[in-house]
């Protein structure tokens, strides 16, 4: 097996983990059993992302797009384990842990790239005066602000939502720092800006998606601000990424 095929196989395992997580038990507590299947919008969102992720193992020339969609799914699946961390890690069911297996999708892309079979990640074209940069940076600002506001009206903020106190808030702060570093063109963060933004978007969209079309009136200011911030961030980064993308070098002609 070549390194390229191994990377694509790794990404396929990640997709399978994500698909299995949709139907399995997410958590069971107090006589209540929850599954992602209980939320039709969530199912549609995740299935669409994982279907698009199949571009990577299918080897059809859209490796970065496939990995980006899979990374959004990983960010989404990170939300529930972060809430239960670290005092209640025995409560989440198999769906919560299998969902985290979607991290294998971007890992698969890194293996494929190391084999020289996928286009390298171009650094962001950082132009602070550009509207795309302003869009992405405003998203980061909103993400930082939303951490301290209530997820559900009159309830805990993202900072205090986890059973251990601050696990989810710390993850969000790390995401804010990583995205800020990417937008400022810092080394590997700049090259991984797209995937970092995708994971952040998935994480911040989770609270909104679980309330979509059923209890949106109960979503607090933090839930709205985080969702909008994640959307602005990924929109700005995608626009910057497309503006700085370069065509991969032509393959050498066979001798």
- What integer pLDDT is reported at residue 252 of this predicted model? 44
Q: Both tokens of residue 57?
A: 């193992």
Residues 6+ apart with CB under 8 A from 211: 218, 219, 223
Domain boundaries, the chain: 1-119, 120-255
Nearest Cα to Cα of residue 39 among 158, 230, 215: 215
User: pLDDT under 50 in the chain at which residues?
Assistant: 245-255
Q: What is the pLDDT of residues 65-110, one digit of tens each?
A: 999 999 999 999 999 899 887 777 777 889 999 999 999 999 999 9
Distance CA 93, CA 107 (A): 24
Distance of CA 167 to the CA centre of its chain: 17
Q: CB–CB of 7/62 below 8 Å? A: no
Q: What is the pLDDT of residues 42-53, one digit of tens each?
A: 999 999 999 999
Model confidence pTM above 0.75: yes
């Amino acid at each position: 097996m070549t390194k390229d095929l191994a990377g694509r196989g790794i990404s396929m395992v990640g997709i399978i983990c994500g698909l299995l997580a949709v139907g399995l038990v997410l958590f069971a507590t107090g006589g209540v059993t929850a599954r992602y299947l209980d939320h039709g919008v969530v199912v549609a969102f995740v299935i669409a992302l994982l279907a698009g992720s199949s571009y990577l193992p299918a080897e059809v020339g859209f490796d970065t797009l496939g990995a980006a969609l899979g990374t959004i799914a990983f960010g989404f699946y990170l939300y529930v384990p972060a809430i239960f961390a670290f005092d209640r890690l025995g409560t989440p069911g198999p769906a919560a842990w299998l969902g985290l297996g979607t991290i294998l999708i971007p890992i698969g892309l890194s293996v494929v790239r190391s084999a020289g079979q996928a286009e390298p990640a171009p650094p962001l074209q950082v132009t602070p005066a550009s509207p795309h940069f302003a869009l992405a940076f405003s998203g980061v600002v909103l993400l930082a602000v939303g951490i301290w506001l209530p997820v559900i009206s009159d309830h805990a903020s993202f900072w205090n939502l986890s059973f251990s106190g601050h696990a989810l808030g710390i993850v969000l702060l790390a995401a804010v720092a990583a995205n800020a570093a990417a937008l400022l063109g810092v080394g590997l963060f700049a090259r991984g800006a797209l995937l970092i933004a995708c994971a952040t978007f998935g994480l911040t969209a989770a609270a909104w998606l679980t309330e979509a079309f059923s209890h949106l009136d109960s979503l607090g200011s933090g839930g709205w601000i985080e969702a909008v911030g994640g959307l602005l961030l990924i929109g700005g980064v995608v626009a910057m990424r497309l503006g700085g993308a370069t065509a991969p070098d032509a393959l050498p002609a066979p001798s």
